[in-house]
């Protein structure tokens, strides 16, 4: 019978090419490989940074030099050779750009391939986009509309120049340079990223979005994002990531810091689709990211992530629920295929009274991949009436992959209520036959079932992203149709 | 000299005293074990498996490793700790030394005797060679330490097709003959095909002196055999226990280990199940009721290696005052173990602010056609139920105690020996201050 | 329309169907009855293409073309519909989304464009009213947490949406109370036309009071041992199956 079996699907999955794996031929200004104090200083100089910034970087570099790369995560990979990476690569631009019309046409083509035609976006949807290629922010749209409300949304390199008081006040307060190996590295060498400040009481009228792309070979990308929501403000922030297919592994070590002051709310969504490596597990991005947010009184931070890319992912978007009545949320769907490895989850640190957190984590493993959830729920002795609900569900496709759950629950207050649940399942033969009988082929049926499985997370994404994320899930699992 | 050095340097003296044939396998095993221990040392909090339990303060004591035995202990001193209401075989150890006077052993249908004789008599050589130290985890410094100093403990060897007619009670007493004593009992249980045995184990300090017990038990459960193993941990406040129990199961066998932790200063239970065949059932039940500064750490592992097996794990904890509970349950389902059903549940109640629970329920799944779940809750008593009871005139404290008792009850319900069940119920009631009023 | 010729099928070397012959024409309703284990559900599974069962001999033809080499979804595209005895739950996938996918896949297979959303909604409204379905079920996860009756009603709703050529109702009456049974039967009757056919598989004749068959066949040990008109069902009800053995 010519029925599309799970074996066929597996084969297709293996041969599925990475859809975003193209390389843009743009002239790049790239540093020689290697990392030293001189390189750190050079990066800082290149960016024309003030002294305090250079000092900050150098301190971070010093800390990093004394740190060891962590190995507690449930992932195996060849450790990056930190002296073989170029720590700065920027598309060469003749002058500072004033409008999109002046952007390198090659670059614009890249955006189109990425599915972000900036023009289209500008006209049709209500999204302001900042794009970081390799290490440098190349375009920020919608500046004018945002300016009118006092919202600052610009590359962090510019923010260091134009709003040093804000950057100085908050940078490194949530993720200190000493936090971990990759955060220290990032602090020393980050070259760009996005900066966002929402003034008191302002509701940001549109989604803010950053697209990250690693283009040049042999480079690392170390972007730094800082989002500050002042008292009573609201912002929804989106982040998308892609990289071209390359044989060697490339390092991406970003740091994201969120600060939600009293009564503020930050919704931070990520669709991560870094190149996952080919079907033999060659190449792909090492995605070692530190993301953390701080909630003051009555504030709320919500992380939503759709992770389909990267060869190795190491990522735990976290919330420090410092203020009373603050709320932390984490919604994640992580899909791994072929030889991908993901160790991802969240930390919810309850410090204030009546703090609440919700964790919904969905993992889909296929091929020979390993997918781990690692999470921490911590209730401090002072945090009265803290609540947490966690749910971790795994879906396995085939018997070559693994799904793992490592939740840590540490409770030191007797008024806390914590519930954690985890389940593991597969797509049932009976479910597939039922779909087949209604005329839905196996490939489509799997996509449908995986989408159903991920629904609670997909529902949390802003509309513009939900559709893209859904497609991404299908692509990573389904193979091309026909 | 710190404890590690003391132990390592005492090893030679110990081996010489033991009067063992230095050419025997056991000697080689010991030698390797002490070397491993010397390399690894005691685990520290940096070790992921020990992040919530700190041994350091405990290791500061100047333990005597070969205590003098107190001969004066008689039946009247120990009878309260026996389950008297049932006929049973008993193995009584006083300060690490077997008391034949107080014990009731057998060699009739099966061997219920001591490991010291099994290790030395040619008759048991094959059993020892086949089983001894084969599943006690290698490179685990604490079980290595026990292996190196293995001298005494229970030896239970049940041939096939034998229903052991009465339960076996293993009791380890320390008498306080030394100010600070470290004991290392070692048990070996081999249960043949189609056989059935029930075992109750208890460690008890009869004095106020300090005791650290580092106990290791290996249990082998053959085809279709059934083993029920009950651990009563209700020791005094100066007693600490590190218990490592390893269970290896063959096809269609059922093994259950029940752990009741009410007493002691620090208790660490390492409980590991290895399934070596199809259609195996493993049951792990536990309840901890702690107060003051007590610390209980339940570390469990179920390793599913073959298809069509099950595991059921239920641990409950009630923590008062400044006590700390740890639950670290790991379930591994290997690639070949399709159609596995693995369930794990951990429910906790913190009574007082100051009490802590650290839970880490882990699943590691490498097979797709499996049903695995874990649940973990931390919470309080049902306020509505409490109010309801109060409105019926039951004083609040009593109502709380009754609700807590009910919370723990489904673990107690799994006890298959009625007399033991009522004893455990009483212990729970005592610990919670519930007046049962009548026999349940 | 449907021709079953000397059909032998089984599972794991165990024979269940031992030579079934049956001819169904457009516009007809056939009832297949028989005791437990007679092979009723196997027959419906084999027609729908469930690969759990292996066909060892014989053929099944739809409009003179063999179905046996076709995947279940291809059979569905050609108009075979099976109302499951135990409808499957698919968490997170709403009934609406599911039926939308099913309809558009069928249209795609037949060279048609996707049905515009507006028409889809209209169709859904129309058919759900026919089955007196509470609209809220449509936005719930498919069959998840549905009662037995709700699941069966949902099956017939899908049948109404897909407008199959040949509908096989496998024990659709089980788990239904009398009111639900009437609604379901009423739905089926309204869908009957001269161009389609219905096969009702049932243990009891209860459902046949409401969906009146043109032919009744009795299945026993994987063979049709007796065929007749609707009065045969009543006879079976009275006498049981033993007299046929």
The pLDDT-based confidence of A98 (bands split at 50, 70, 90) is: very low
Q: To probe the interface with A, which of B371, B378, B381, B382 has the most A CB atoms within 10 Å? A: B378
Query: A315: buried, middle or exposed (CB in 10 Å: 19+, 13-18, 0-12)?
Result: buried
Across chain B, what does the average pLDDT equal?
91
Query: Are chains A and C in touch, 3+ Cβ pairs below 8 Å?
Result: yes
Which domain, by its residues, includes A334? 20-477
H-assigned helices in B277-327: none
A283-313 pLDDT, tens digit per residue, is: 888 888 899 999 999 999 999 998 888 888 8
Give the whole-angstrom CA distance, residue A480 versus residue B397.
65
Final residue before a domain boundary, out of B276, B291, B321: B276
Mean pLDDT is lowest, of A102-111, B274-283, C43-52, for A102-111
Buried b (16+ CB within 10 A) or exposed e, B386-411: beebeeeeeeeeebbbbbbbebbeeb
**pLDDT value of residue B386:** 84
CA distance A478 to chain C (A): 16
Residues B267 and B407 occupy one common structural domain = no
Which residues of chain B from 114 to 133 reach within 8 Å of chain A, CB to CB?
A: none
Q: Does the pLDDT at position A128 exceed 70?
A: no
Q: Which residues of A touch B359 (CB under 8 A)?
A: 407-411, 420
pLDDT at position B162 over 90 = yes
A47 phi, psi to nearest 5 deg: -90, 0
Which residues 354-393 of B have a C-beta within 8 angstroms of A?
354-380
In a domain, A160, yes or no: yes
* A2/C71 Cβ within 8 A: yes
In Å, how far is B281's CA from the nearest CA of chain A? Answer: 19
Among B276, B299, B318, the domain boundary falls at: B276
**pLDDT of amino acid A94:** 40
Instruction: Decide if B363 and A396 are in contact by the 8 Å CB cutoff.
Output: no
Q: How many domains does chain A contain in total?
A: 1
Name the minimum distance, in Å, from the CA of C182 to any CA of chain A. Answer: 24
What is the average per-residue pLDDT within B1-5?
Answer: 87
The pLDDT of residue A360: 96
Whether pLDDT at B148 is above 50: yes
Please check the confidence at residue A432 and state whether its pLDDT lies above 60. Answer: yes
Q: Give ∠ CA B267-B269-B275 in degrees, rounded to 5.
A: 175
Q: What is the DSSP letter of B48?
A: G
A183-187, B265-269, C121-125 — which one is most confidently predicted on average?
Answer: B265-269
What is the Cα–Cα distance from B195 to A426, expressed in whole angstroms?
A: 37
Structure confidence by residue, pLDDT tens digits, A163-182: 999 999 999 899 888 888 88
Residue B179 is predicted with a pLDDT of 92
Domain enclosing residue B79, as ranges: 1-276
Is A449's Cβ below 8 Å from some Cβ in C?
yes
Chains that touch C (3 or more CB pairs under 8 A): A
CA distances from C86 to A281, A438, C44, C54, C143 (A): 41, 15, 13, 21, 10
Find the mean pLDDT for residues B373-400: 86
In a domain, A188, yes or no: yes
- Distance CA(A44)–CA(B139), nearest Å, equals 49
C-alpha distances in Å from residue B137, one per residue of B3, B301, B440: 22, 12, 40
From A75-89, A153-167, A327-341, C184-198, the region with the lowest mean pLDDT? A75-89
In angstroms, the Cα distances linking B376 to A82, B370, C86, C153 are 41, 20, 32, 38
> What does the pLDDT read at residue B320?
92
Selecting from B364, B372, B378 the residue whose C-beta is nearest the C-beta of A417 gives: B378
Tell me if B286 is assigned to some domain: no
Residue B374: pLDDT above 80? yes
Whether A375 is in a domain gets the answer yes
Alpha carbon of residue C109 to chain centroid: 21
Whether residue C127 has pLDDT greater than 80: yes
- Out of B208, B241, B276, a domain closes at B276
If one compares A393 and B69, the residue with the highest pLDDT of the two is A393
Q: Which CATH number fits domain C2-244: 3.30.420.270, 3.40.50.300, 3.40.718.10, 3.40.220.10?
A: 3.40.50.300
User: What is the structure's pLDDT at A117?
Assistant: 45
**Mean pLDDT across A434-441:** 93
Q: Is A7 inside a domain boundary?
A: no
Q: Would A4 be classed as within a structural domain?
A: no
Q: Does residue B296 lie within any of the structural domains?
A: no
- Grouping H, G, I as helix, E, B as strand and the rest as coil, residue A125 is coil
Question: Does residue B423 sit within a domain?
Answer: yes
Pairing of the two strands A327-336 and C215-220: unpaired
Q: Over pLDDT 70: what percentage of chain C?
A: 99
The domain limits of chain C are: 2-244
Q: Could you tell me if residue B368 is inside a domain?
A: no
Asked if the C-beta of A211 comes within 8 angstroms of chain C's C-beta atoms, the answer is: no
Indicate whether A6 belongs to any domain: no
Q: Are residues B272 and B400 both part of a single domain? A: no
Give me the number of domains chain B comprises: 2
Whether the CB-CB separation of A258 and A173 falls below 8 Å is answered with no
Percent of chain B with pLDDT over 70: 97
Residue A213: pLDDT band (50, 70, 90) is low
The distance of A406 to chain B (nearest Cα, Å) reads 5
């Amino acid at each position: 019978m010519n029925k599309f079996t799970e074996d066929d699907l597996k084969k297709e999955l293996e041969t599925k090419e990475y859809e975003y794996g193209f390389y843009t031929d743009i002239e790049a200004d790239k540093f020689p490989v290697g990392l030293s104090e001189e390189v750190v200083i050079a990066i800082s100089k290149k960016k024309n940074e003030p002294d305090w910034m250079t000092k900050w970087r150098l301190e971070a570099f010093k800390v990093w030099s004394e740190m060891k790369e962590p190995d507690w995560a449930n992932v195996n990979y060849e450790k990056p050779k930190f002296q073989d990476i170029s720590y700065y690569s920027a598309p060469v631009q003749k002058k500072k750009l004033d409008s999109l019309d002046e952007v390198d046409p090659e670059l614009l083509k890249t955006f189109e391939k990425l599915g972000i035609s900036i023009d289209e976006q500008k006209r049709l949807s209500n999204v302001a986009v900042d794009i970081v290629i390799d290490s440098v922010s190349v375009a920020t749209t919608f500046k004018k509309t945002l300016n009118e409300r006092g919202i600052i949304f610009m590359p962090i390199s510019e923010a260091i120049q134009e709003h040093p008081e804000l950057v100085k006040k908050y940078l490194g307060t949530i993720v200190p340079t000493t936090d971990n190996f990759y955060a220290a590295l990032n602090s020393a060498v980050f070259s760009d990223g996005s900066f966002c400040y929402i003034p008191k009481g302002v509701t940001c009228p549109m989604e803010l979005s950053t697209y990250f792309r690693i283009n040049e070979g042999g480079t690392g990308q170390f972007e730094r994002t800082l989002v500050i929501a002042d008292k009573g403000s609201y912002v929804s922030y989106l982040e998308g990531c892609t990289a071209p297919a390359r044989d060697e592994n490339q390092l991406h070590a970003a740091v994201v810091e969120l600060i939600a002051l009293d009564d503020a709310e930050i919704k931070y969504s990520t669709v991560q689709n870094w190149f996952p490596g080919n079907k033999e597990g060659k190449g792909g991005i090492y995605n070692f990211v530190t993301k953390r947010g701080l909630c003051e009184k009555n504030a709320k931070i919500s992380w939503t992530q759709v992770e389909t890319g990267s060869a190795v992912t190491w990522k735990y978007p976290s919330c420090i629920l410092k203020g009373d009545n603050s709320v932390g949320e984490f919604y994640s769907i992580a899909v791994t295929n072929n030889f991908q490895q993901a160790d991802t989850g969240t930390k919810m640190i309850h410090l204030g009274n009546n703090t609440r957190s919700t964790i919904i984590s969905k993992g889909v493993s296929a091929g020979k991949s390993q997918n781990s959830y690692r999470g921490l729920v911590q209730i401090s002795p002072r945090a009265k009436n803290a609540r947490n609900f966690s749910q971790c569900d795994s879906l396995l496709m085939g018997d070559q992959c693994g799904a793992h759950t490592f939740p840590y629950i540490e409770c030191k207050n007797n008024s806390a209520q914590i519930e954690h649940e985890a389940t593991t399942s597969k797509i049932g033969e009976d479910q597939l036959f039922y779909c087949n009988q209604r005329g839905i082929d196996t490939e489509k049926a799997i996509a449908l079932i995986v989408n159903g499985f991920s629904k609670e997370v997909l529902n949390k994404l802003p509309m513009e992203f939900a559709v893209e994320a859904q497609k991404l899930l299908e692509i990573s699992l389904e193979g091309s149709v026909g | 000299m710190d404890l590690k050095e003391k132990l390592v340097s005492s090893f030679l003296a110990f081996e010489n005293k033991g009067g063992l044939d230095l050419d025997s396998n056991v000697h080689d095993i010991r030698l390797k074990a002490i070397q491993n221990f010397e390399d690894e040392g005691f685990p520290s909090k940096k070790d992921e498996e020990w992040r919530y339990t700190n041994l350091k303060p405990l290791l500061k004591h100047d333990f005597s490793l070969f205590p003098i035995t107190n001969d004066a202990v008689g039946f009247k001193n120990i009878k309260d700790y026996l389950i008297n209401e049932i006929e049973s075989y008993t193995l009584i150890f006083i300060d690490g030394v077997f008391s034949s006077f107080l014990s009731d052993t057998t060699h009739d249908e099966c061997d219920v005797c001591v490991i010291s004789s099994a290790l030395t008599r040619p008759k048991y050589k094959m059993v020892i060679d086949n089983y001894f130290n084969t599943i006690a985890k290698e490179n685990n410094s604490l079980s290595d330490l026990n292996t190196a100093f293995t001298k005494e403990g229970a030896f239970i060897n049940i041939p096939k097709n034998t229903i052991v007619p009465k339960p076996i009670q293993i009791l380890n007493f320390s008498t306080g003959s030394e100010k600070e004593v470290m004991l290392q009992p070692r048990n070996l249980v081999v249960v043949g095909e189609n056989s059935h045995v029930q075992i109750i184990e208890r460690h008890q300090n009869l004095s106020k002196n300090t005791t650290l017990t580092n106990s290791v038990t290996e249990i082998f459960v053959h085809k279709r055999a059934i083993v029920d193993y009950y651990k009563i941990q209700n020791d005094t406040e100066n007693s600490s226990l590190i218990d490592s129990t390893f269970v290896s199961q063959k096809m269609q066998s059922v093994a259950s280990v029940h752990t009741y932790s009410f007493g002691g200063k620090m208790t660490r239970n390492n409980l590991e199940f290895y399934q070596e065949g199809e259609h195996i059932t493993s049951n792990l039940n536990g309840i901890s009721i702690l107060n003051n500064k007590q610390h209980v750490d339940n570390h469990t592992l179920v390793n599913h290696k073959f298809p069509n097996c099950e595991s059921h794990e239920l641990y409950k904890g009630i923590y008062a005052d400044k006590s700390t509970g740890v639950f670290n349950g790991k379930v591994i389902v290997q690639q070949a173990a399709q159609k596995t059903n693995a369930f794990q549940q951990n429910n906790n109640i913190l009574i007082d602010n100051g009490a802590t629970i650290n839970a880490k329920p882990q699943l590691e799944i490498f097979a797709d056609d499996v049903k695995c779940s874990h649940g973990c809750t931390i919470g309080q008593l049902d306020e509505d139920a409490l109010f309801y009871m109060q409105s019926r005139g039951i004083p609040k404290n009593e109502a709380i105690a009754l609700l807590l008792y009910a919370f723990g009850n489904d673990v107690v319900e799994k006890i298959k020996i009625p007399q033991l069940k009522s004893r455990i119920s009483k212990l729970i009631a005592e610990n919670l201050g519930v007046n049962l009023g009548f026999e349940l | 329309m449907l021709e079953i010729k000397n059909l032998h099928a089984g599972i794991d070397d165990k024979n269940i169907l031992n030579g079934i012959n049956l001819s169904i024409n457009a516009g007809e309703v056939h009832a297949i009855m028989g005791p437990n284990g007679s092979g009723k559900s196997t027959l419906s599974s084999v027609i729908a293409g469930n690969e759990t069962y292996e066909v060892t001999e014989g053929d099944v033809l739809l409009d003179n073309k063999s179905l046996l080499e076709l995947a279940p979804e291809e059979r569905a595209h050609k108009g075979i519909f099976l109302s499951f005895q135990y409808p499957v739950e698919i968490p997170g996938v709403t009934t609406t989304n599911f039926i939308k996918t099913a309809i558009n896949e069928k249209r795609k297979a037949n060279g048609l464009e996707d049905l515009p959303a507006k028409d889809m909604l209209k169709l859904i409204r129309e058919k759900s009213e026919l089955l007196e379905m509470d609209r809220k079920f449509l936005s719930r996860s498919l069959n998840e947490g549905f009662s037995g009756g709700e699941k069966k009603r949902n099956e017939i709703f899908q049948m109404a949406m897909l407008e199959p050529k040949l509908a096989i109702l496998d024990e659709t009456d089980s788990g239904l109370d009398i009111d639900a049974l009437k609604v379901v039967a009423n739905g089926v009757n309204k869908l009957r036309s001269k161009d389609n056919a219905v096969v009702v598989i049932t243990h009891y004749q209860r459902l046949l009071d409401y969906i009146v068959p043109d032919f009744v066949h009795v299945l026993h040990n994987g063979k049709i041992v007796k065929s007749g008109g609707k009065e045969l069902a009543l006879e079976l009800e009275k006498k049981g199956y033993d007299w046929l053995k």
